[in-house]
Amino acid sequence: MKLYPIETGNLKLDGGAMFGVVPKVMWQKVYPADENNLCNWSMRCLLIIDGDRKILIDNGIGNKQDEKWLSYYYLNGEDTLENSLKKVGETPDNITDVILTHMHFDHCGGSVKFNEDISGYELAFPNATYWTSKKQYDWATNPNRREKASFLKENIYPIEESGQLNLIEKEGEYIPNITFKLFDGHTDGQLIPHINYNGRTIAFMADLLPATAHVPMPWIMAYDTRPLITLKDKERFFNDAVKNDYILFFEHDIYNEACTLMDTPKGVRVKNAGKLADFI
């Protein structure tokens, strides 16, 4: 098995939204904001090559939205999904599986692209099976008013219409060496892949833990639909992660790709952090 972090660019989001009830005087020290209170976040995906399978977890924001919409998120950085795949010798056509942790636009926007004459949409990974949870798909296609703006129809319906979408209802190993586990605090049915890499577990954190800065228990995003459930989700995850020395892989942490955890008198904290390559 080979693992490749795939950078798709960065976006800026309000620091208060990203850290919820935690005062800025605290979070600013570990994840600084600019003069507009915006923090810069990566949209980092993970490519797994295991035998004949080439599996991509999440795929960034895509390029279908108009300039006005994109301007809200201050996209920056030189990386793109296709260029990052090219750097490791792959193309979208080579991908056999796309795992979508959830269907917020910054996680699944790269799933679908305009067709050649820009008259409609087509899959960006035409030979791939797409995976997400049924609970999340139902949530995304019948969105609540608070979360509705994060679910864009053009990112979702073309996947279903293609016939290449697999919806899972229970936790389990649906792809060899990758176990799907479900968490509900951020959005219902968020799918967190747990990868068996040489006998060690690498957890792709998505928005269960956007960054190392979110490891302390109360550090929860205001974007989470049910923050008290997030607390339970984090505790459940931490129980396994600390006991079994998981490697956590971060989608949004612009400073660290991965970390390990440890118990301390103040609760679970980061043990070591850095590049994924430092841990594997």
Domain that holds residue 224: 2-278
The total number of structural domains that make up the chain: 1
pLDDT by residue (tens digit) across 77-90?
999 999 999 999 99
Reported as a single tens digit per residue, the pLDDT across 145-184 is 999 999 999 999 999 999 999 999 999 999 999 999 999 9
pLDDT (0 to 100) of residue 49: 98
Backbone angles phi, psi at 67, to 5 degrees: -65, -35
* Cα–Cα nearest to 60, from 95, 17, 104: 104
User: pLDDT at position 119, please?
Assistant: 86
- For the chain, give the percent of residues with pLDDT over 70: 100
CA distance 91 to 81: 10
Model pLDDT, residue 151? 96
Question: Residue 264 — very low, low, confident or very high, per pLDDT cuts 50/70/90?
Answer: very high
Q: Which pLDDT belongs to residue 131? A: 98
DSSP 174: E
pTM, whole model, 2 decimals? 0.96
Contacts of residue 209, defined as CB under 8 A and 6 or more positions apart, other chains included, come to 215, 234, 237, 248, 250
What is the C-alpha separation between 120 and 140, in angstroms, rounded? Answer: 21
CATH number of residue 63's parent domain? 3.60.15.10
Say what the pLDDT of residue 252 is.
98
In sequence order, the β-bridge partners of residue 114 are: 121
Q: For residue 196, with 0-12 CB atoms within 10 Å meaning exposed, 13-18 middle and 19 or more buried, which class applies?
A: middle
Provide mean pLDDT across the span 212-239: 97
Q: Is residue 45 a contact partner of residue 56, using CB atoms and an 8 Å limit?
A: yes
Q: Can you say how many angstroms the Cα of residue 25 is from the centroid of all Cα atoms in its chain? A: 27
